[in-house]
Every structure is written in C-alpha cells, then in structure tokens.
C-alpha cells in the first residue's frame, strides 16, 4: 500500500458527517483536497512549531501554579483518578492557543466574562464541542454535557469561529479600526506575526493563489480540533501509564531529559531533537496504542493481495495450522472498502520482536518508518503528525523532569501484571479511548 497510493484512495463519503462546520481536508477529495492541502501545508511549519512548543511549556507552567500542584515539596504526592482528565485539558489548551490563537491558561475557569452576543465563553464552547463531537457523530453516552448544551456549544463555537475569521481577515486586509490607521496597522502587524494555525490559515487563504472559501476555513479549523485533540490527549495518557508500569524506562527517560535540559530549564523548539528518547517513548506508545485502529481505503481496481507465510507466527494468536502454504492470495473486487490496520502491523513480531513489551529503544536512531503507521501512510497521511509530536514531547519532557509517575494500586498487594491488565484497557471509539488510568505523581 505504501508503494501504490493511487490504487487505494480514501473513501471520503465515509467521513461526510464531519462536514457539519464546513468542508475540510479530511472530507475533501480530488482538486478540492489538493487546494486545501496546499494551504494546509503552509500552515503546519517551523514557525508554528516554535509557537506550539512555547505554548505547551506555558501550559505546563500554568498547571504547576494551579491548586494541588503549586506548593508541592520534593517527595510529596498527588493522585489523579484518570490521567485523561489532565491530558485532555493540556491538549485542549494547546489546540486552543496554538490552533485557534486564543490566550487560554490552566487557571482560566468558568467565571470568565461571556462576551456580548454569546451565551458561553470560547473556552466552554471549545471544551463542550471537543467532548461531545463523538456524540454528534451518533455514538451515544460518551459525553458529559447535556444534548441542549451540546447544540448550544456547536452554535457558539461556529459563531466564535465566524467572528474570528472576520476579525483576522479584516486586520489582514486593513479593514478594521476605520479611521484609526495606527491601531489598524498595529492589529495588522499582530495578525501577520501570529503563528497559530487559524491566523496562518486565514493569511494563506488570502494569499490569492489558492483561496479557501469561508466555509472551508471554518471546516478546517474545526477539524484540527476534532482530529488533533483527543488523539494526542489519549496518547500522552498511555505514555504516562506505560512509564509508570515500566519504571526502568521512566528512569532512563528522566536521565536523558536532564541531560538535554539547559541549566535554566528554558527551552525552545530548537531543543526538540535533543529529547530523542522522549519522542521514542511517544512513538512506542503510538505503536502499542495506535489511536486510529482502522483506516479505510477503497480499491480503485480488482486487486490481488498476497499473504506471506512469515506472518504466521503472530504470538497473539493460537498456534497457526500446520499446513499454512508458503503464500496465499486473495482477490478483492474494485470499489471494496478495505482497512489499513495499524495494530496488525505494529504487533507483527517480524517487524517488532516481543511486540507486547514496552521498548522505546526501538525508535532511537534509525527505524523502519514504513512499518510505523499510527498516522497512516501515503498522500493522505496525517497532516497534524508533527503538531502532536511537538506537543507531546514538550509536555512529557517537562512533566517527567518535575514528577516521577507511579501506578495507583486498586487494592493492597495488586501485582504489576494485574495493574497492567487494568490500566492498559481501551475501547476503539472514534479514537482508542483508555478506560481508566489512575496515577500517582511524586514531586522530584
Ligand atoms: C496522536 C495524534 C494523531 C494521530 C494518531 C492521527 C492519526 C491520523 C490518521 C490515521 C489519519 C487518516 C489518514 C488517512 O486517511 O490515511 C489522520 C488524518 C488527519 N489528521 Fe491526524 N492524527 C493525530 C493528530 C492530529 C493533529 C494534532 C491534527 C491537527 C492539528 C490532525 C489533523 C489531521 C487531518 C487534517 C487529517 C486529514 C488529512 C487528509 O486527509 O489529507 N491530526 N490523522
């Protein structure tokens, strides 16, 4: 599949439901997709990574000033019931600030003033929409907001997005602040300098060559929230769970973080590559828990699949039948929808020996990228891949620098094997969702 992308197009009709705030990169195909892709590629760039890194560190620092964390002395502990409650907040703030260009911090709460013309703050709307998008996609009982709140949140977010587009575009075109050229120039400068995805999307769409329609701007900024928020939050949570269950890997990670971290603890995206082991931990997490478990593709022609006998000894399965032929073939008709299965590749011992073991070292130095596919592969590969990597590496590096992470036993005497079984459970909803990861953080 890596070699021949045209033979396996994306069945975009399966994603129609994601169009409700406007057409976007996930749902588009053909020339529409190419146009949106050109704009999007310009948006995900190094200036943005710098900004995202800084924002993620700022979010972590905000958390450290928050109740529960602010006065912790070395050796003191804080327990959380489910690490996702923390990591979802991190991911929401990261996409809110580095994605939407807001200025939200850990301590912002529901008491913030609601702007005129709205019935919810931007943060509440973003939070409800992020939480309830799955419900909106017709999978029941997974959000904690009422249906009325959810509908309001979607309307509100749409209103906010529309007014932000108007404001950013107005500033770029010099339409704001009529009669006040100085203020106008300042606003224009500020928007031009902003490195959040939304500002860059508006700017790129105004550049003329490949304009985006308003509804596409709206659809794309929403899709960043939906595609990038939960996937990353769940993955950071699984990373913390794995580090808690494999303390020797956590110690190695801590050692390497301290080596990479400048003495004053101040880092920028320029330091990203120094945190190679942190990225390796994140990649190994994505190998074990790929958030998207099945990636649909369509066959553009009748296709013969060949299965190699060397796949027979998957340790997850019962012993293979004694008479497996050297090669088996299967002919599948044109237009059939088939699925790329990241878990099937990631758990194949041919590519990853002892696939159930957590070994970040697999991703230190050179590794085979064709068998590492949490972000898919080919032309429709995830455009937000590096966004997720930068956010996760920055957060995990700072978190593990300040805390050691431990499993919270469910009962006295619970063994490591029992904890593994309990903590690493997940359900593949739209993305793989951890059941419950209770953790204890000890201040270093
Ligand atoms: C752990 C984090 C993430 C994982 C595992 C992930 C995984 C994926 C996968 C499997 C696809 C489908 C590709 C295909 O159809 O072949 C995809 C597409 C996409 N992702 Fe991600 N993603 C992540 C984070 C993000 C982030 C942070 C953003 C945006 C800020 C994002 C935006 C997108 C978009 C726009 C597409 C559609 C690309 C296209 O069809 O051209 N993703 N992602």
Burial tier of 390 (Cβ tally within 10 Å: 0-12, 13-18, 19+): buried
- Report pLDDT digits (tens) over 70-129: 989 999 999 999 999 999 999 999 999 999 888 888 876 656 788 888 998 888 888 888
Kindly provide the b/e burial profile for residues 110-134, where b requires at least 16 CB atoms within 10 angstroms of the residue's own CB.
Answer: eeeeeeeebebbbbbbbbbbbbbbb
CA-proximal residue: ligand 1, atom 9 (nearest): 375
Contact 170, 199 (CB under 8 A): no
Reference 281, options 406, 434, 371, 397; nearest CA is 397
| Binding positions | 382
| Residue with tokens 């949490």, as numbered in its chain | 374
Q: Which of 124, 135, 126 is nearest to 100 (CA)?
A: 126
pLDDT > 70: what percent of the chain? 86
Share the mean pLDDT of the chain.
87
Atom index in ligand 1 nearest the CA of residue 431 equals: 5
- The minimum-distance atom of ligand 1 relative to the CA of 24 is 35
Neighbouring residues of 159: CB distance < 8 A, sequence distance ≥ 6? 117, 118
Question: How far is the C-alpha of 444 from the C-alpha of 374, rounded, in Å?
Answer: 32
**Given the CA of residue 296, which atom of ligand 1 is nearest to it?**
15
Q: What is the pLDDT of residue 13?
A: 87
Q: What percentage of the chain reaches a pLDDT higher than 90?
A: 57
Q: Which of 187-196, 227-236, 404-413, 428-437 shows the lowest mean pLDDT across its residues?
A: 187-196
Which secondary structure element, helix H or strand E, spans residue 327, and what is its range? Answer: strand 327-332
* Token digits of residue 28: 């588009």
**339-398: pLDDT as tens digits:** 999 999 999 999 999 999 999 999 999 999 999 999 999 999 999 999 999 999 999 999
CB 181: neighbour CB atoms within 10 A? 10
Burial class (CB in 10 A: 0-12, 13-18, 19+), 49: buried
Task: Kindly report, residue by residue over 312-336, the tens digit of the pLDDT.
Answer: 554 444 445 556 567 788 999 999 9
- Band (pLDDT 50/70/90 cuts) for residue 16 is confident
Residue 359 pLDDT: 98
Looking at the predicted structure, is the pLDDT value of residue 2 above 80? no
The preferred substitution site among 227, 239, 284 for testing ligand 1, maximizing ligand atoms within 8 Å of CB, is 227
Ligand 1 pocket check: which of 372, 382, 388 to mutate, most ligand atoms within 8 Å of Cβ?
A: 382
Enclosing domain of residue 41: 5-443
Q: Whose CA is nearest to atom 41 of ligand 1?
A: 380
What's the CA-to-centroid distance between 226 and ligand 1, angstroms?
Answer: 10
- Please, which pLDDT band fits residue 149 given cuts at 50, 70 and 90? confident
**pLDDT for 78:** 96
Which pLDDT band holds residue 137 (cuts at 50, 70, 90)?
Answer: low
* Residue matched to tokens 């709206």: 218
Spacing, Cα 231 to ligand 1 middle (Å): 9
Q: Whose CA is nearest to atom 7 of ligand 1?
A: 375
- Which of the listed ranges 39-53, 109-123, 141-155, 189-203 does the model predict with the highest average pLDDT? 39-53
Q: Tokens in use for 413?
A: 């005497």
Return left, alpha or beta for 113; rule: phi > 0 is left, psi -120 to 50 is alpha, else beta.
beta
pLDDT band at 176 (very low <50, low <70, confident <90, very high): low
- Which of 4-18, 60-74, 378-392 is predicted least confidently? 4-18
- CA of 113 from ligand 1 middle (Å) equals 34
CATH assignment at residue 343: 1.10.630.10
Distance from the CA of 319 to the center of ligand 1, in angstroms?
Answer: 35
Tokens of residue 73, six digits: 């002395």
Q: How many domains does the chain have?
A: 1
SS3 170: helix
Q: Is there a contact between 202 and 217 (Cβ–Cβ < 8 Å)? A: yes
Task: Specify the ligand 1 atom closest to the Cα of 33.
Answer: 41
Probe residue for ligand 1, chosen from 101, 295, 384 as the CB with the greatest number of ligand atoms within 8 Å: 384
Contact between 261 and 401 under an 8 Å Cβ cutoff? The reply is: yes
Question: Which is more confident, 115 or 191?
Answer: 115
What is the pLDDT confidence band of residue 141, given thresholds at 50, 70 and 90? very low
CA of 24 to the centre of ligand 1 (A): 12
Residue 342 CA, closest ligand 1 atom number = 10
Which atom belonging to ligand 1 lies closest to the Cα atom of 290? Answer: 5
Counting atoms of ligand 1 from 1, which one is nearest the CA of 37? 41
349 C-alpha to ligand 1 centroid (Å): 26
Kindly tell me if the per-residue pLDDT of 53 is higher than 70: yes
- Residue 227 CA to ligand 1 centre (angstroms): 6
Mean pLDDT, residues 252-257: 98
Q: Which amino acids are annotated as binding site for heme, given as ranges? A: 382
Q: How far is the CA of 375 from the centre of ligand 1 (A)?
A: 6
How far is ligand 1, taken at its centre, from the CA of residue 268, in Å? 25
List, chain by chain if needed, residues with CB within 6 Å of any ligand 1 atom: 10, 25-26, 223-224, 227-228, 231-232, 235, 291-292, 295, 374-376, 380-384, 387-388
């Amino acid at each position: 599949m890596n070699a021949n992308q045209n033979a396996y197009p994306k069945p975009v009709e399966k994603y129609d439901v994601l169009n409700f705030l406007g057409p976007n990169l996930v749902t588009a195909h053909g020339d529409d997709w190419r146009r949106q892709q050109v704009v999007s590629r310009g948006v995900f760039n190094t200036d943005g990574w710098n900004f995202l890194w800084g924002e993620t560190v700022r979010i972590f620092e905000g958390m450290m000033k928050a109740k529960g964390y602010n006065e912790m002395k070395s050796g003191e502990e804080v327990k959380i019931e489910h690490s996702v409650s923390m990591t979802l907040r991190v991911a929401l703030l990261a996409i809110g600030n580095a994605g939407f260009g807001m200025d939200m911090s850990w301590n912002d709460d529901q008491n913030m003033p609601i702007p005129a013309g709205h019935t919810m703050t931007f943060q509440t709307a973003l939070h409800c929409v992020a939480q309830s998008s799955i419900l909106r996609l017709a999978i029941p009982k997974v959000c904690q907001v009422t249906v009325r709140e959810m509908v309001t949140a979607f309307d509100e977010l749409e209103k906010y997005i529309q007014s932000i587009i108007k404001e950013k575009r107005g500033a770029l075109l010099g339409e704001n602040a009529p009669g006040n050229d100085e203020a106008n120039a300042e606003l224009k400068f500020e928007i031009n300098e902003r490195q959040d995805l939304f500002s860059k999307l508006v700017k790129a769409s105004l550049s003329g060559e490949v304009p985006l329609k308003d509804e596409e701007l709206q659809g794309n900024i929403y899709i960043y929230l939906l595609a990038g928020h939960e996937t990353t939050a769940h993955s950071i949570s699984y990373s913390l769970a794995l580090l808690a269950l494999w303390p020797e890997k956590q110690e190695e990670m801590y050692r390497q973080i301290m080596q990479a971290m400048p003495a004053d603890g101040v880092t920028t995206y320029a330091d990203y590559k120094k945190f190679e082991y942190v990225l390796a931990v994140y990649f190994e997490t994505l190998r074990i828990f790929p958030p998207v478990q099945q990636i649909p593709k369509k066959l553009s022609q009748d296709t013969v699949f060949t299965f190699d006998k060397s796949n027979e000894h998957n340790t997850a399965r019962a012993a293979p039948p004694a008479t497996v032929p050297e090669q088996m073939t299967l002919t599948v008709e044109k237009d059939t929808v088939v699925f790329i299965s990241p878990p099937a590749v990631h758990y194949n011992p041919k590519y990853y020996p002892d696939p159930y073991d957590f070994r970040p070292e697999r991703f230190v130095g050179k590794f085979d990228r064709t068998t590492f596919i949490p972000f898919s592969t080919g032309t429709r590969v995830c455009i937000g891949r590096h966004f997720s990597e930068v956010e996760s590496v920055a957060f995990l590096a700072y978190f593990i620098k300040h805390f050691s992470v431990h499993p919270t036993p469910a009962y006295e005497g619970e063994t490591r094997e029992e904890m593994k079984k309990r903590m690493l459970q997940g359900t593949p909803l739209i993305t793989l969702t951890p059941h419950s990861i209770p953790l204890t953080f000890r201040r270093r």
